[in-house]
């Protein structure tokens, strides 16, 4: 039994003030006269969306005005093909269309921001992908997420949306098959918010150990300290799981999965980082053995290769190379390339070997234990904390493959087989990162929650990372139709319209 310090009432309550939640709240208030309340358990809104650099945008007026090709239909087909047509086509279509509609609406409410964006491409697509709006004047266009989240908060304040931070939702009341009230814990006691409809935007469950034990015990066992902290916020504790259960929503546990990245080499040296993605390096694990055809993150994709790295001891890899490897990589970088390598591109190297060494010293001399240099393979192994005997045997075997012109162990193409026998020798540590944890309530094309046992939960809409339906879980690997930030904004945008429609219908 709760003793309430205060009571509130609204038409629509939004649980979670991240990207999807804030878009849903601001959009709902913009298109209706409904009373909206946002409950956010942390001290600020925005969630992981404030770290977003860009979104994939399709069919926007902004793109049409700049005569950019409309590739939405082809990308929808590609998305459905890549997920084996297991997803609801209308959900996928609605999501793609909502990316453009959301961006145009954002430009309308944000004032004179349209020209603050320039034509670019989504980072993992490369220049051959769809042309999208990128925020000007920021390093690698970081900052769009901050601007969008700032605008959503301003819109909420302008339209009278109550955004209540430090309000942790702990329970719900369900009457006649719908959520009738939300109970939140605050600094002043418990608050009860009566409502007619609800948007569930509570984020992921990556910090819920009980869930993680079931989804990826290997990840927990590895005790990984991910590079990108935005995707492992302490707030991501799966708060939506018990709420969804009590509301009668269908929790799609088969969809629960992690998105892993790696090997990640983020040192101060661009040369070292590039060699960590180079086909002229060899990748060895903590016991000094090769574990793949190099480089898997370029060939397979950064997110797929992370699942391979997870199976290595400690989920750690080292890219090992020498002057031969450097010379081959530098020579390759000077060639003209057709197409694009996506996130990795085709790296350029300094003009002289002296400049190459100076750049590598930025990482080697930091003393942080991620970049190493030695005049002997034994010396390099000791600095890497790898068995010298094992590393020498691995490099010797690789050099024999180079001499034979065929790699029978890991099948590296002959043109990339360059022997590692010209000191000094180098290594750059590659670690495992995560793009987050995903899966939750299965939603329909309107972002309305499916009911456990069939049908739909009245007045309940689910958005963002906790909504299932825009990706498939292929043996623990997430195959998605659109990137996470675009999904967060699009799903929030769609949910707002349909929640308002539902509220109008029950008011008749």
Which of 473, 125, 432 is CA-nearest to residue 260?
Answer: 432
Average pLDDT, stretch 10-36? 97
pLDDT band at 333 (very low <50, low <70, confident <90, very high): confident
Any idea of the CA torsion for 91, 182, 236, 221, to the nearest 10 degrees?
A: -100
Residue 340's pLDDT is what? 45
Which DSSP state fits 249? B
pLDDT band at 345 (very low <50, low <70, confident <90, very high): low
- Bridge partners of 132, per DSSP, are 120
Mean pLDDT (the chain) is: 93
CATH number of 260-434: 3.90.700.10
What's the sign of the alpha-carbon dihedral 56, 60, 61, 63? positive
User: Where do the domains of the chain lie?
Assistant: 4-203+238-256+439-507, 260-434
How far apart (Å, rounded) are the C-alpha atoms in residues 460 and 438?
Answer: 19
Q: Could you give the percent of the chain with pLDDT greater than 70?
A: 95
Any idea of the CA torsion for 199, 205, 207, 213, to the nearest 10 degrees?
A: 160
pLDDT band at 367 (very low <50, low <70, confident <90, very high): low
Average pLDDT, stretch 244-269? 94
How far apart (Å, rounded) are the C-alpha atoms in residues 476 and 311?
Answer: 13
Average pLDDT, stretch 451-473? 97
CB 263 within 8 A of CB 275: no
Residue 123's pLDDT is what? 75
pLDDT band at 127 (very low <50, low <70, confident <90, very high): confident
Matching fold, domains 4-203+238-256+439-507 and 260-434:
no
How far apart (Å, rounded) are the C-alpha atoms in residues 130 and 241?
Answer: 36
Nearby residues of 194 by Cβ (< 8 Å), 6 or more positions away: 7, 8, 9, 10, 180, 181
pLDDT band at 229 (very low <50, low <70, confident <90, very high): low
How far apart (Å, rounded) are the C-alpha atoms in residues 62 and 331?
Answer: 41
Residue 228's pLDDT is what? 54
Average pLDDT, stretch 289-312? 93
Strand bridging mode 36-39 / 162-164? parallel
Q: For residue 17, give the H/E element and its range.
A: none
Residue 120's pLDDT is what? 86
Residue 313's pLDDT is what? 93
How far apart (Å, rounded) are the C-alpha atoms in residues 161 and 153?
Answer: 9
pLDDT band at 392 (very low <50, low <70, confident <90, very high): very high
Residue 208's pLDDT is what? 95
Helices 19-31, 484-507: inter-axial angle, 10-degree rounding: 40
Both tokens of 454, joined, read: 């069939």
Residue 369's pLDDT is what? 82
pLDDT at 343 over 70: no
Inter-CA distances, 142 with 46, 134, 147, 293, Å: 15, 9, 10, 32
Residue 302's pLDDT is what? 85
Average pLDDT, stretch 14-18? 97
How far apart (Å, rounded) are the C-alpha atoms in residues 37 and 26?
Answer: 10
CA contacts within 13 A on the Cβ side of 153: 21
Residue 493's pLDDT is what? 98
CATH architecture for segment(s) 4-203+238-256+439-507: 3-Layer(bba) Sandwich (3.50)
The whole-angstrom distance between residue 266's C-alpha and the CA centroid of its chain comes to 17
| Cβ count near 449 (within 10 Å) | 27
């Amino acid at each position: 039994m709760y003793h309430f310090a205060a009571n509130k009432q609204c038409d629509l309550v939004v649980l979670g003030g991240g990207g999807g939640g804030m878009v849903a709240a601001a959009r709902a208030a913009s298109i209706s006269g409904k009373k909206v309340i946002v409950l956010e358990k942390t001290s600020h809104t925005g969630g992981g969306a404030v770290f977003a650099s860009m979104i994939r945008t399709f069919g926007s007026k902004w793109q049409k005005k700049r005569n950019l090709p409309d590739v939405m239909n082809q990308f929808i087909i590609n998305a459905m093909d890549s997920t084996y047509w297991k997803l609801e086509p209308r959900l996928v279509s609605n999501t793609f269309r909502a990316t453009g509609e959301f961006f145009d609406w954002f430009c309308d409410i944000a004032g004179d921001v349209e020209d603050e964006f320039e034509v670019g491409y989504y980072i993992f697509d490369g220049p051959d992908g769809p042309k999208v709006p990128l925020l000007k004047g920021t390093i690698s266009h970081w900052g769009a997420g901050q601007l969008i989240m700032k605008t959503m908060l301003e819109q909420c304040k302008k339209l009278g949306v109550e955004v209540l931070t430090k309000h942790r939702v702990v329970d719900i009341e369900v009457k006649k098959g719908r959520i009738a009230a939300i109970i939140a814990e605050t600094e002043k006691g418990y608050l009860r918010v009566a409502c007619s409809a609800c948007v569930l935007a509570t984020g992921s469950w990556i910090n819920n150990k009980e869930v993680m034990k079931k989804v990826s015990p290997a990840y927990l066992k590895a005790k990984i300290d991910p590079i990108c902290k935005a995707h492992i916020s302490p707030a991501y504790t799966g708060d939506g799981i018990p709420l969804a259960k009590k509301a009668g929503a269908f929790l799609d546990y088969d969809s629960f999965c992690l998105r892993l990245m790696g090997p990640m080499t983020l040192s101060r040296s661009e040369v070292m980082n590039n060699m960590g993605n180079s086909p002229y390096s060899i990748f060895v694990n903590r016991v000094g053995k090769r574990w793949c055809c190099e480089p898997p993150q370029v060939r397979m994709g950064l997110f797929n290769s992370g699942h391979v790295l997870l199976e290595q001891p400690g989920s750690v890899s080292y890219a090992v190379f020498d002057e031969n490897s450097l010379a081959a990589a530098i020579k390759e970088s000077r060639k003209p390339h057709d197409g694009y390598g996506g996130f990795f591109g085709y790296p350029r190297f300094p003009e002289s070997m002296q400049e190459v060494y100076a750049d590598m010293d930025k990482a080697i001399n930091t003393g942080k234990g991620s970049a190493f240099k030695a005049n002997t393979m034994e010396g390099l192994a000791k600095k890497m904390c790898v068995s010298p005997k094992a590393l020498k045997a691995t490099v010797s075997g690789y050099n024999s493959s180079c001499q034979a012109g065929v790699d029978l162990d890991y099948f590296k193409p002959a043109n990339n087989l360059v022997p590692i026998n010209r000191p000094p020798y180098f290594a750059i540590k590659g670690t495992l990162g995560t793009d987050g944890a995903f899966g939750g309530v299965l939603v329909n094309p309107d972002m309305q929650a499916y009911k456990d046992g069939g049908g739909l939960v009245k007045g309940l809409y689910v958005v963002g990372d906790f909504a299932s339906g825009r990706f498939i879980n292929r043996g623990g690997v997430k195959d998605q139709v659109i990137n996470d930030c675009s999904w967060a904004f699009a799903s929030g945008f769609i949910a707002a319209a349909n929640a308002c429609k539902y509220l109008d219908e029950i008011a008749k």
